Amino acid sequence: DTAVSQTPKYLVTQMGNDKSIKCEQNLGHDTMYWYKQDSKKFLKIMFSYNNKELIINETVPNRFSPKSPDKAHLNLHINSLELGDSAVYFCASSQVSGFSYEQYFGPGTRLTVT
Amino acid sequence: DAKTTQPTSMDCAEGRAANLPCNHSTISGNEYVYWYRQIHSQGPQYIIHGLKNNETNEMASLIITEDRKSSTLILPHATLRDTAVYYCIVRPVYSGNTGKLIFGQGTTLQVKP
């Protein structure tokens, strides 16, 4: 069983399009995250949801809109895609309330904007 | 969160111990040391964490100096599958309900046959 899954694994699209990436965790965790890894391989947090409430928004353009329909799902919708959005997007989850903060990451979604 | 400093890259012979250092000289008393790794084309993977005592699990050992200003991750018998980027991260024991991780550049460990 995959703990944190993402779909799709690869996404190739043109500038200006709107696309979504989905994430699901079956670990029963209360917090989910989106990270972006750019071409220089730096991993940076974008958003975090705790019990479906947005708690971190790291100065990400408002073209990016996360949505958490329930604790097990965190989706990322991107409007008007730009070349600079090309990156690998990782979803992660953790159980924050236990003070452990061990995060489990998904396999990533490689987004290519042409 | 405290800043960490790691060597950019390291090599290790297969079967030997890999010792990955991390400097966190500005760490405060309420901050844990975490280690994650990222194997090529995969998501980061949690390895181990500690506060002030040395820790060991099935993957690795974590040695934290007495003054807590540095630590070493030890992979006792490195295999080719341990080739990855290793990240040392320092974060508070409790940071509200965020739990976010701040990744640095990490150390690229190349295990060679």
Q: Which residues of chain B make contact with A90, given a CB cutoff of 8 A? A: 43-44
Q: For each successive 10 residues of chain A (114 residues), what is the average pLDDT?
A: 90 97 94 91 89 82 93 95 96 77 91 97
CB contact under 8 A, B85 and A102: no
Query: Chain A: nearest CA to B11, how far in angstroms?
Result: 20
Test mutation, A4, A95, A97, A101, chain B, max B CBs within 10 A: A101
CA A17 to chain B, closest CA, distance in angstroms equals: 25
Smallest CA–CA distance from B47 into chain A, residue: A102
Q: SS in 3 state form for B22-73?
A: EECCCCCCCEEEEEEEECCCCCCEEEEEECCCCEECCCCEEEECCCCCEEEE
Residue B95 is predicted with a pLDDT of 60
- CA torsion A97→A98→A100→A105, rounded to 10°? -60
Contacts of A10 in chain B (CB under 8 A): none
- Hey, which bits of chain A come out as E strands? 4-7, 10-13, 19-25, 31-37, 43-50, 53-57, 64-70, 73-78, 87-94, 104-105, 109-113
Residue A87's DSSP bridge partners are A111
pLDDT of residue B97: 55
Residues B78 and B26: beta-carbon distance below 8 Å: no
Say if the Cβ atoms of A56 and B94 lie within 8 Å: no
Query: What SS3 class is residue B93?
Result: coil
Say how many C-beta atoms besides its own lie within 10 A of residue B81's C-beta.
9
What are the structure tokens assigned to B34, written together?
A: 């975490």
> Position of tokens 């779909």?
A7
Per-residue pLDDT of chain B (113 residues; tens, 9 = 90+): 668 999 999 999 999 999 999 999 999 888 899 999 999 989 999 999 999 889 999 999 999 999 999 999 999 999 999 999 999 999 876 665 566 788 889 999 999 99
Neighbours of A47 (CB within 10 A): 23
Cα gap B105→B75, rounded to integer Å? 20
Measured distance CA(A60)–CA(A87) in Å, rounded: 14
Spatial distance between the Cα atoms of B2 and B91, rounded to a whole number of angstroms: 7
Query: Are the C-beta atoms of residues A104 and B46 closer than 8 Å to each other?
Result: yes
**Cα B47 versus chain centre, distance:** 7
